[in-house]
């Protein structure tokens, strides 16, 4: 009988690089690939770089931690699948509305699981919320499902208001920052439902008799 490969939790710096490195590569690719005569060239260069970066991130994750998280796998499917369509259509409008489609797909996956009392986030995020109760996972799923619906609506609102370059900047940095703030806003609710932040209790600190 073969044993399963050991899973290691990535360090803070490695985790940050795996999560946000591909996004940074997308932004840099879009900037350096920018053309004054072809507004689509920058986003296409960024998309191609993003596709390569997400594959590299999975390889590094497997090498350094022994596994690839379900969330990273699903993100790779979206990035490569929609990225391929982006390169095929070569249309900036598709690039803009593609984000809406991705947010709606995430919302659908999460909310369908919530309706079935099977929180998809519990599988996708693995050990990200240690100790969280089943009720907590369901509340978190509802919260994020509605948030992704809100992001889809917000994306459609800002499309006609921003220039192409402004849109790429907001999509790359603004929306992820908004997601981070939303995640932080959920912490008090998660703590009420068993979230363990790794703090030791007084009993844990007592010496053995």
Quote the pLDDT of residue 7: 60
124 and 141 Cβ atoms separated by less than 8 Å: no
Cβ-proximal residues to 161 (8 Å cutoff; 6+ apart), any chain: none
pLDDT tens-digit profile, the chain (209 residues)? 444 455 666 656 777 788 778 888 988 888 888 777 787 888 899 999 999 999 999 999 999 888 898 888 988 999 999 999 999 999 999 999 999 999 999 999 999 999 999 998 888 886 678 889 999 999 999 999 999 999 999 999 999 999 988 998 898 889 889 999 999 999 999 999 988 876 544 444 454 44
Render the burial of 29-44: b for 16+ CB within 10 Å, e for the rest: bbeebbeeeeebbbbb
Q: What is the pTM of this model?
A: 0.79
| Distance (Å, whole) CA 6 – CA 19 | 21
Beta strands in 5-134 (DSSP E): none
Alpha carbon 205 to its chain centroid, in Å, reads 36
């Amino acid at each position: 009988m073969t044993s399963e490969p050991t899973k290691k939790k990535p360090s803070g710096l490695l985790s940050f690089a795996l999560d946000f490195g591909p996004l940074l590569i997308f932004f840099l690719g879009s900037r350096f690939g920018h053309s004054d005569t072809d507004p689509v060239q920058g986003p296409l260069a960024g998309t191609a770089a993003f596709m390569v970066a997400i594959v590299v991130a999975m390889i590094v994750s497997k090498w350094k931690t022994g596994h690839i998280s379900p969330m990273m796998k699903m993100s790779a499917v979206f990035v490569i699948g929609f990225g391929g369509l982006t390169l095929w259509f070569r249309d900036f409008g598709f690039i803009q509305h593609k984000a809406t489609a991705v947010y709606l797909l995430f919302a659908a996956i999460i909310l369908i699981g919530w309706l079935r009392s099977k929180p998809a986030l519990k599988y996708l995020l693995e050990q990200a919320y240690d100790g969280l109760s089943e009720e907590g996972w369901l509340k978190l799923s509802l919260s994020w499902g509605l948030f992704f619906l809100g992001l889809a609506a917000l994306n459609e609102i800002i499309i006609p208001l921003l220039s192409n370059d402004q849109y790429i900047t907001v999509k790359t940095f603004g929306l992820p920052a908004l997601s981070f703030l939303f995640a932080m806003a959920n912490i008090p609710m998660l703590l009420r439902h068993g979230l363990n932040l790794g703090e030791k209790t007084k009993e844990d600190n007592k010496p053995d008799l």
